[in-house]
Amino acid sequence: MTSADGTERVRRMPRAQRREQILDAATRAFARTGYTATSLDDVATEAGVTHVILYRHFASKGELYRAVLDRACTRLGDAVGTENYDEGSIPALLRAAAADPDGFRLLFRHTAREPEFRDVIDTIRLDSADIAHRHITAAIPDGPWQDWAARVIPALTLESVIAWLDTDQPDPDHAAQRISRAIEGVIHAACMN
């Protein structure tokens, strides 16, 4: 935009759009090296903004990281759902991971290693185990093996998706079926006498 005196004026980005730009950049930066090893300088450079702009949106690195995690959780919940498991859950999880691989890795790889933010992943794991538990009650007799399977299934699923991302997303049309077969193996193992 050019002003009346012929000088170029820089158009400011709307606040919400700038915030999203910073969150996108922070997600990429934190996903590369985790919370501790990533500085606000790294985030500002990735976002192409100054520290002043960064601090207008987030008061601290911890607040920024928490906002990144909250957004990743919201996106994941919107894509996959948070209450139940059905035949569309694993394909939805794979699509969500493919759409935001940095956010997915950040949640399930880095956050577990960050004591200050571990509550996020602990909540996801507990909720996932509860959903798995409700889903497998008809297939596995009540008892310690049912509890074991309810914990193993979400862990296996999430690690399978991360491995799928890390190996360049092979065979996306059949990846969900392969992960489902692995889950069936866990259920079968839990039912063994």
pLDDT tens for residues 16-64?
A: 999 999 999 999 999 999 999 999 999 999 999 999 999 999 999 999 9
How do residues 116-127 score in pLDDT, each as one tens digit?
999 999 999 999
Q: Of the candidates 91, 99, 104, which has an alpha carbon nearest to the alpha carbon of residue 174?
A: 91
Is the confidence at residue 160, as pLDDT, over 70?
A: yes
Pick the CATH number of 15-191 from 1.20.120.550, 1.20.1730.10, 1.10.150.120, 1.10.357.10: 1.10.357.10
Residue 112, burial from CB neighbour count under 10 angstroms (0-12, 13-18, 19+): middle
Helices (H), the chain: 15-37, 40-47, 51-57, 61-80, 89-99, 101-105, 118-136, 144-166, 175-191
Q: Of the candidates 23, 32, 30, which has an alpha carbon nearest to the alpha carbon of residue 58?
A: 23
State the pLDDT at residue 136.
94
Higher pLDDT, 192 or 166: 166
Helix (H, G, I), strand (E, B) or coil at 8: strand
The domain limits of the chain are 15-191
Residue 26, burial from CB neighbour count under 10 angstroms (0-12, 13-18, 19+): buried
State the pLDDT at residue 83.
78
What's the DSSP call for residue 49? -
Q: How many CB atoms lie within 10 A of CB 56?
A: 14
Cβ-contact 148, 190 below 8 angstroms: yes
- For helices 40-47 and 15-37, give the axis angle rounded to 10 degrees: 140
The token pair that represents 176 in the structure block: 């969900």
Cβ-contact 160, 176 below 8 angstroms: no
